[in-house]
Structure 1
């Protein structure tokens, strides 16, 4: 229970919560822009009702993302003062650009999205939605740029005091891993939101409520998944090639590849194993010969650098990286299979009646979040023992005078606060989902409402005169 260990645990705890909500809001903001665009084009009231349903969920998720993000900045000063001091001249401006170009944009137009429906024109409201969606992408751009620089640093010089100084901002921002990681992260956010929308829609169809809205949104989720999931597989493959070039030790940990193969043998693809770091071997290994080299190097006899090519002190923890990667890939394969099956059922006209498919979407509704966390663990644990890859070790970046008791106390406080805040937020989102899309009153020229709102689950009800029951 050293300050270093507790600081790493605290950072992992906070980032694991924080990353879920921005990723969800990235995809949800673009979904809202699409839905409002469809409403403007068709003037179909169903699109408008779907928009306001997901807008409420977006607002709660955005708020929780902001709350968890504030804690992140505190940690850099309290727990990682050496990192802030030595790399602050590069990381500080990148994070500041995110606030200036993205967060202000999102916060400004979010107010118009939430409260401007009866106060601005339809086109202005749609413009506000698009600006919020754009803001989420710009925010992702800068955050991934900063994190990617820590993975593949370039464009810097180190002065006599050991501080990183910017030498080429273009090289810093567009570092070697940045384009691949940006595409991978944005697609991951879109897919996460896609499967939440599909899962909620499938749940409504299984319950027999909001059928028209649910079927429409489920079909759009299937169509989008059919595009995004294959693109994510392609982006992941390109990212893997980049990791092999710039972070070969991380790639070796991902594959639990301990020893070099004989010349001409190629690298096997390890499907399952139990990595033994002390013995430098895999127990219970199940592997396919040569397939690893074909996937990782695009060569039949492809070979990657083994873990034993570097000292043990230069290797990341192998087991967490190895298993997290397989969780991410396994969920991606399940997403692809579910999408293909849903496309087939849609073509046959049985999508809304195929209970096993609807249940599949329900069970996979949170799969994007799990895959996202697993992928993030691969990235962050895989670069250990460095915080700035190859240049600044994590053990050297922790605050020198911090004590374990202080870190443990703050960790407990964070855990309790998160349990209350995020527990209440998730409970409220669940409550919104239980209600579902509600019929929105149309605009009135005097600013009033023409008709009261009512649940869309009762589109054709008749009300008796006595009890008012449908």
Structure 2
């Protein structure tokens, strides 16, 4: 297919499925915590606006949660079908970590999800709030175990190798490997920020349509406070993550920077833009700022970072891709900070809910958090290449022995099925968002208990094909 061999098709297939999947857990993590905050504020203030927002976003959460579970199951099977070499080599570490995720996080989410979605008037307010908090905690615990497993693949420790297979020796060292804390905080904050931008864009859309209600104003205001506070924190965490990566994966940093060689005694410049050429071993049309690379990456004005030419060709990540994916992530992060700052300025001027240009900016920034997450994951995972377990197993040695025909067919099947199924789900989510929260939304506080839903999607009772859904 397109001149690619089975190995390259297997990599593309996994990249495709993980790219589809990651946007759903990101929103699940952020929206679950947002729901816990909304319900907590409602219990504290008895303000029905918070209750209205809770029921509105619980519908979005239910649909998104369902799509996340379905898309995630496929990835788990791919470890066995397409990456059997990896499973055989490192399954003794990654298998238990993913099992812990299911036993703790997924069971916690699934156990309390029904109470959270359908427990109104069936349980007390305190117990319902507890269920919401447990679902939010479950999403965070899921992040913990998934990131621990993935981080170990980047910075493996706490093991020995016997007969060509990884043998765990210290689970504390395996779980809390050197890159894990940085990647855990970076991803969790990214999920919160992505969800805040998604909420803010939803509110901005309604404000542009003239739906200027207290509920819409409240969720717009909350999202902008989140962006103002969390976006700068993410920049600081990202800087710490970069220093950790420089220590443990210097080739990745060199590829991100498009930095090929060091001149004796000269600090490393920062290349803002350029086109890294892996064949010619240089970055074409480079726009450089002297000293800034050393300042950002080593926090000094004279230290150098390792250059790509100091690593064997077969050990170099593809700089052409991650050079740009990293810059997309950083550029979007700067726009997020700008969004929060402008929002604060307009808030103080008293025109936050009247400035239509700013509402359009917030609307366009809606998908930016998810795009930044995808760009960050491309940077992280492509930057790890050619290793699947860094320094221990090459990606080519981890792939299963499938034919090009087999991989081409399954890749096309994934593209068709994912695009159709999750495309429909996305359209459905957008229709729900267009309906917006019902002002007061008091009828949900005392639901009709004659209806007993059995599935998460049953929580979405609103029609989206009638007059309401068409507005």
Q: Do Structure 1 and Structure 2 share a fold, with TM-score over 0.5?
A: yes
Q: Name segments (4+ residues, structure 1) moved above 6 Å.
A: none
Which is worse superposed, 98-107 or 108-117?
A: 108-117
Q: CA deviation at 1:210?
A: 4.6
Partner residue in 2 for 1:330: 331
User: Quick one: which of 225, 228, 239 aligns to 2:227?
Assistant: 225
Instruction: State the match for 1:193 in structure 2.
Output: 195
Once residues 201 and 381 of structure 1 are traced to their aligned partners in structure 2, the CA distance between those partners, rounded to angstroms, is 35
Give the Cα–Cα distance (whole angstroms) in 2 for the partners of residues 22 and 296 of structure 1: 30
Note the alpha carbon deviations across 1:74-129, whole angstroms, 9 max, x for none: 11111000100110000000000000010010011111111111211111111110
Shift of 1:423: 1.2
Please give the per-residue CA displacement for 1:136-159, whole angstroms capped at 9, x wherever unaligned.
000000000000000000001000
Aligned position for 1:377: 378
CA drift of 1:442 comes to: 5.6
Q: Counterpart of 1:266? A: 267
> Can you give the 5+ residue segments of structure 2 that lack an aligned partner in the other structure?
452-460, 464-471
Give the CA deviation at 1:318. Answer: 0.8
1:257 aligns with 2:286: no
Give the alignment of 1:119-130 within 5 angstroms.
119-130=122-133
| Correspondence for 2:53 among 50, 54, 72 | 50
Match in the other structure for 2:181: 179
Quick check: 355-364 or 408-417, which moved more? 408-417
Match of 1:247 in 2: 249
Q: Deviations over 1:337-363 (max 9, x none)?
A: 111111011011111111111111000
Structure-2 separation of matches of 1:162 and 1:201: 55
Q: Which residues in structure 2 correspond to 1:22-421 (within 5 Å)?
A: 22-159=25-162, 161-263=163-265, 265-400=266-401, 402-421=402-421
For the Cα contact (< 8 Å) 1:149–1:175, is it kept in 2? Answer: yes
Q: CA RMSD in A?
A: 1.6
What secondary structure sits across from 2:378 in the alignment?
helix
Match of 1:18 among 18, 21, 33: 21
Contact kept? 1:296, 1:302, Cα under 8 Å: no
* Structure 1: tracts of 5 or more residues without a match: 456-470
* CA deviation after TM superposition for structure 1 residue 447, in Å: 5.4
Instruction: Please list the CA deviations of residues 345-391 of structure 1 after superposition, one character each: whole Å capped at 9, or x if unmatched.
Output: 10111111111111110000000010000000000000000000011
Work out the CA distance in 2 between the residues paired with 1:163 and 1:448. 56
**In 1: Cα distance, 2:450 partner to 2:147 partner:** 45
3-state SS of 2:268 partner = coil
Q: Measure how far apart 1:262 and its partner are.
A: 2.6
- Aligned residues between the structures: 449
Distance 1:64 1:454 in 2: 19
Deviating more after overlay: 389-398 vs 407-416: 407-416
* CA displacement, residues 130-183 of structure 1 (integer Å, 9 cap, x when unaligned): 000000000000000000000000001000x20001011110000000000000
* TM-score, normalisation: structure 1: 0.93
**CA deviation string 1:252-275 (max 9, x = no partner):** 000000001331x21101100011
**What is the TM-score with the length of structure 2 in the denominator?**
0.93
Distance 2:423 2:190 in 1: 24
Counterpart of 2:458 in structure 1 is: none
Given the superposition, is the C-alpha separation of residues 295 and 447 from structure 1 closer, same or farther in structure 2, using an over 3 Å criterion? Answer: same
Q: Distance in 2 between matches of 1:62 and 1:182?
A: 20
Query: SS in structure 1 opposite 2:123?
Result: coil
Higher normalized contact order (CA 8 Å, seq sep 6+, divided by chain length): 2
Query: 1: CA distance between counterparts of 2:81 and 2:186?
Result: 31
